[in-house]
Structure 1
Amino acid sequence: MDARPTLRDVAQLAGVSPKTVSRVVNEESGVSAAKEGRVRRAIEQLGYRPNITASRLRRSGGRTAAIAALLEDIANPFSSVLHRAMEDVARERGVLIFAGSVEEDPQREQALVREFARRQADALVMVPAGENQAYLTRELTPGTPVVFVDRPPVGLHADAVLADNEAGAAAAVHHLVAHGHRDIAYLGDLRSIATARQRFTGYREALVEHGIRLGTAHVAHDLHTAEEAEAAVLRMLDADDPPTACFSAQNLVTLGALRALRRRGRHTAVALVGFDDFPLADLLQPAVTVVAQDPAAMGRLAAELVFRRLDGESWEPATHVVATRLIPRGSGEIRGPQAVS
């Protein structure tokens, strides 16, 4: 990466003193409108990002003892477990984790990256929302370790820790077919998300393996909230040919599917397997069968890769795949019309 522009670079381009640039950046008074305009144009032209980290917060070697984590949504169980696992590893090293939620918003992702870069975090762990992360080469200090989690990077060669999404989704379909189902609905997250596309691929290819034709009536994409998923499942259940089983490809989608099945009194008749575990899934009636990722293992591995980089190790960036596990609990074992007695 090229060296990042400095405050002195801005001052030279704007034809003012570094003190004047500092006053503009810190929104202090005493700068004329003309000079402020020149400074802001120079900042924009150079792509300058001020470092607002106080020197007293920095430790030897120029580090801040802090790692930035950009997660999908800290309120989501998957993100919270991921965060806690990273935090546990970092705490052993006396390092803090600063976390933010990107909320599937590429602009929010970039804004958070800029803020963490201004604070000169030692490293960045992120679940990307945008379609391309090449912009990180402009925002981060050269040599800053970056690890992607849950979704692969685009436009940037970096380490990634991913779940085996296709295999997990295929396992769910194989499980439902083994219990007598051939009309299996697919309930998917946003198609802009790489993991959603991978899970749909696993679902589709598993159907092909069993000679089951992929229909469109029981396929619903872009369900990003429990409410959207509930509405989609209600439409399917109220149709003339409702599915006998559902595969929900994200934990919030699973919650919406559960609500719909219960509203129609079908929760003990229509089988359900969800991708991602969630709290209390084992206490429902029937308990929910899931394809469980291991966000704790993913978080630990991501943190370990970061610290290896910070300790000076060097290697060609690679993708690390963490296996999923199907956990039968009851909902996925509801027998379908093709079940062998």
Structure 2
Amino acid sequence: MRKSGRPTMVDVAADAGVSLKTVSRVVNGQPHVDPALAARVTASAEKLGFHRNALAASLRSGSRDTLGFVSADLTNTFYMTIAAAASAVAVGRGMQLIIASSEEDAATERTLTLDLCQRRVGGLIVVPTAADHTYLQAEVQRGTPVVFLDRPARGIQADELLLDNRGGARAALAELLAAGHRRIAVLLDKPDIFTMVERRAGVEEAFAAAGLTVDERVVVADMHTPQAAREAMTRLLASAEPPTAVFCANNRSTIGALEAIVAADADIALSGFDDFELSRLVPRRIRIVDYDAGELGRRAAELLLQRMVDPDGVEPTTVLLPTRLVDRGREVRPRG
């Protein structure tokens, strides 16, 4: 019997004293298996910690032609763009990409990643939500490479691909401040998310460089949906001292804020992090902290494939992708 790694049906057959065919019939739920033999197989499987690999059942034995991608929120086009790019790389190598979403829940992330490891994917791309990733250490030691995307790993050494969140936010706020704005609203997602921490830090650095401080009265957190951002922006615009500009820390907040601004026909500058669909068609000029989301997905998949081929080639690396400020929207001229 093998002394290391995950137990296989061969291990179970040896422990139970039955044929490999019998084990296969039991774990795949086939009928007409002698109850006594089935009980022996089940007992051995439980003792050894063997779990049926549902995906591998449809693939050739021992293959590693699938990759796993655990997103944080598949309703966000940012992650779907990344998934599409990573999938294109995988398909180009004759592989498949399995996609799942943690919905920003640490427990769900752990369940999904460990389940994909149990399915023996060749490697994992993870957008982390959990604050501790030591639970993946054993899987990495068994040979499953992991690349962390958009947010860094915690408690484990692994490859990371990140955006320059702090620099992008700092540039956006510096531009608003240079234009004379001082009462600048800031809409954030959950404040403990790594990207939000970094973007908030960029905001504060821009204010500090101008000799100013952020007005906390117009900073609103937990803007996870466009609806929440729209409601917050509506309240800010209706306040006694409405902001003259707003910075939205992700695309969903930008969409919600834009809805409120257009509905109120408010004269307010809008800048946001992350591009979004139809941004070029909105009826006003907005500034976007932009980057190539597809490049994130491509490079993550390519790095993962490299690790699969040469797991001990180089030490884990952190790659920081740059951002840039771009114009979106269009000025609507009156007819006549």
- TM-score in terms of structure 1 length: 0.83
CA distance in 2, matches of 1:181, 1:236: 16
CA distance in 1, matches of 2:14, 2:132: 32
CA 16–156 in structure 1, closer or farther in 2 if over 3 Å, else same: farther
Task: State the 1:66 CA deviation.
Answer: 1.0
In structure 2, the partner of 1:52 is 54
CA distance in 2, matches of 1:104, 1:210: 35
CA distance in 2, matches of 1:201, 1:247: 13
CA distance in 1, matches of 2:258, 2:28: 51
Q: Within 5 A, what are the aligned runs for 1:133-148?
A: 133-139=133-139, 142-148=142-148
Percent identity over the alignment is 40
Which segments of 5 or more consecutive residues in structure 1 lack a partner in the other structure? 333-341
1:257 maps to amino acid:
A
Q: Within 5 A, what are the aligned runs for 1:38-187?
A: 48-54=50-56, 57-58=59-60, 62-139=62-139, 142-187=142-187
What is the root-mean-square deviation in Å for CA atoms of aligned residues? Answer: 3.3
- Equivalent pair of 1:117/1:140 in contact (CA under 8 Å): no
CA distance in 2, matches of 1:174, 1:331: 22
Does the residue aligned with 1:227 lie in a helix, a strand or coil? Answer: helix
CA 299–118 in structure 1, closer or farther in 2 if over 3 Å, else same: same
- Equivalent pair of 1:4/1:141 in contact (CA under 8 Å): no
CA 142–174 in structure 1, closer or farther in 2 if over 3 Å, else same: same
Does the residue aligned with 1:137 lie in a helix, a strand or coil? Answer: helix
Task: State the 1:21 CA deviation.
Answer: 8.1
Which segments of 5 or more consecutive residues in structure 2 lack a partner in the other structure? 332-336
- Equivalent pair of 1:281/1:287 in contact (CA under 8 Å): no
CA distance in 2, matches of 1:75, 1:320: 25
Task: State the 1:317 CA deviation.
Answer: 0.2
- TM-score in terms of structure 2 length: 0.85
Does the residue aligned with 1:94 lie in a helix, a strand or coil? Answer: coil
Does the residue aligned with 1:213 lie in a helix, a strand or coil? Answer: coil
CA distance in 1, matches of 2:276, 2:219: 23
- Equivalent pair of 1:289/1:331 in contact (CA under 8 Å): no
CA distance in 2, matches of 1:271, 1:84: 33
2:250 maps to amino acid:
Q
CA distance in 1, matches of 2:150, 2:200: 16
Task: State the 1:3 CA deviation.
Answer: 2.8
1:324 maps to amino acid:
T
- The structure 1 segments of at least 4 consecutive aligned residues displaced by more than 3 Å after TM superposition are 4-31, 35-50, 53-56, 138-141, 329-332
